[in-house]
Amino acid sequence: MAKEAKTNAMRMLDRAKIPYETINYDCEEFIDGIHVAKKTGAPPERSFKTLVMQGKSGRHYVFVLPVAAETDLKRAARTVGEKSLDMLPVKDIQKVTGYVRGGCSPLGMKKLFPTVIHESARAYDRIYISGGRVGVTIVMEPEALAELTGANFADIVVGG
């Protein structure tokens, strides 16, 4: 059996000696996190998407939130000390993060950006995040993710 090709996210976890599992699924192109959860059998409430945004200052930020949730842009901006935030255009995702749309992990980006994880992640012993490539999901402890990325936990979703 061929050895699994590691992503930057997996290499980062390996270097830090943080335990994780991977789930591979067949997917040729971008599908949203809700469909990924269905494909992998992951509980949707424990499945988190990674969004990259740019502040009015020009700085980039990473937000990790439940796949079914919508970002409250005002709350998210306040959390990182910005006046406003905009989603990073799809055409810029790879240039900024090193990842493609649908495979963007909060781990192993080209640079370590300020990161915020939705506070609901703390309720779970393990959460599901992108593994750094379309077709790969990583299962890990949310506290370990926060520690490795220097993230804060905050309420950053609409209706949260």
- DSSP letter string, 90-120: GGGHHHHHS--TT---SSS-SS---EEEEGG
Query: Is residue 149 included in any domain, yes or no?
Result: yes
| Residue 159 pLDDT greater than 90, yes or no | no
Output the average pLDDT for the chain. Answer: 92
Alpha-carbon 82 to chain mean position = 20
Q: What is the C-alpha to C-alpha distance for residues 25 and 68, in angstroms, rounded to an integer? A: 20
Residue 26 belongs to a domain:
yes
The enclosing domain of 45 has a CATH number of: 3.90.960.10
Q: Give CA separation, 128 vs 45, 98, 109, in Å.
A: 9, 20, 17
Domain count of the fold of the chain: 1
Locate tokens 């240039």: which residue?
95
Closest CA to 106 of 118, 123, 89: 118
Position 160 in a domain: no
- Could you tell me if residue 13 is inside a domain? no
Q: What range defines the domain where residue 111 resides?
A: 22-154
Whether 118 is covered by a domain: the verdict is yes
Residue 17 resides in a domain: no
pLDDT at 83: 96
The Cα–Cα gap between 6 and 33 comes to: 21
pTM for this entry: 0.93
- 83 lies in some domain: yes
User: Above 80 in pLDDT, residue 28?
Assistant: no
Domain membership of residue 9 (yes or no) is no
* 159, HSE (Cβ side, Cα atoms, 13 Å): 4
Tell me: pLDDT of 149 over 90: yes
Q: How confident is the model at residue 34 (pLDDT cuts 50, 70, 90)?
A: confident
